[in-house]
Chain A
Amino acid sequence: SQQGEEDPQALSIQEGENATMNCSYKTSINNLQWYRQNSGRGLVHLILIRSNEREKHSGRLRVTLDTSKKSSSLLITASRAADTASYFCATTPAGNKLTFGGGTRVLVKP
């Protein structure tokens, strides 16, 4: 089974709205990462949050991490049509093993 699971599986919003997606994981982690994937392409790293951090920002992205609940959230503010993509969380549960969740497909309608 996968280490991380995203929720919701799919999200449809209007341009300008905020998009929030969540990730839950099972074991202790050193860090949690979020990636973006455009259809049929490789993944692109968005942001990394370490286990001793609770919140991190990067441009329109805001990531939170709650290690007590083993969960993280990704917020995209003021969404744009170009934000349409799948978003994945990833963790390293052991050593250098990097595992991904099932992803959230985000559709931003213009």
Chain B
Amino acid sequence: SQTIHQWPATLVQPVGSPLSLECTVEGTSNPNLYWYRQAAGRGLQLLFYSVGIGQISSEVPQNLSASRPQDRQFILSSKKLLLSDSGFYLCAWKTDMNTEAFFGQGTRLTVV
């Protein structure tokens, strides 16, 4: 069966520090991968999505970047965190446009 792993669950980082959040998927190949950010009590903002290794679509100009070094690995990074980068980050995968998405449990990032 397919599973998605996202870690860490919570993270407190100082302003100006780097960030690396990792998401891996098991049990499927060539998934579409997504990174979202969610502010408290709000909807999901699509940050990046990827349809294949090395293929990254950026949706919102920001202080973040994403990479897909392997088929089932999606990494969200920042060189220098800002206070405004705080939020709940969610990774998700799906196989194609007519299927459901499966979400990780999320990472609560607090930039202090």
Contact = CB atoms under 8 A, between A and B. Distances in A.
Interface residues of B, number: 30
Interface stretch (A11-19, A75-83, A97-105): A97-105
A6 to B, nearest CB: 8
Contacts of A90: 101
A95 interface: yes
A40 interface: yes
Contact of B104 (A42, A95, A96): A42
Interface in B67-99: 88, 90, 92, 94, 96-99
Nearest to B50: A96
A99 B42 contact: no
A40 B41 contact: no
A98 B104 contact: no
A99 B100 contact: no
Given A30-B98, A100-B36, A44 B103 contact: yes
A66 to B, nearest CB: 19
A63 B73 CA distance: 34
Nearest to B9: A40
A97 B102 contact: no
A64 B51 CA distance: 29
Given A40-B108, A88-B44, A96 B96 contact: yes
Which 4 interchain pairs have the tightest Cβ spacing? A42-B103, A102-B43, A45-B100, A100-B44
24 contacts: A30-B98, A33-B100, A40-B106, A41-B105, A41-B106, A42-B92, A42-B103, A42-B104, A42-B106, A43-B92, A43-B103, A88-B43, A96-B49, A96-B51, A96-B94, A96-B97, A97-B46, A97-B49, A98-B46, A98-B94, A98-B101, A100-B43, A100-B44, A105-B41
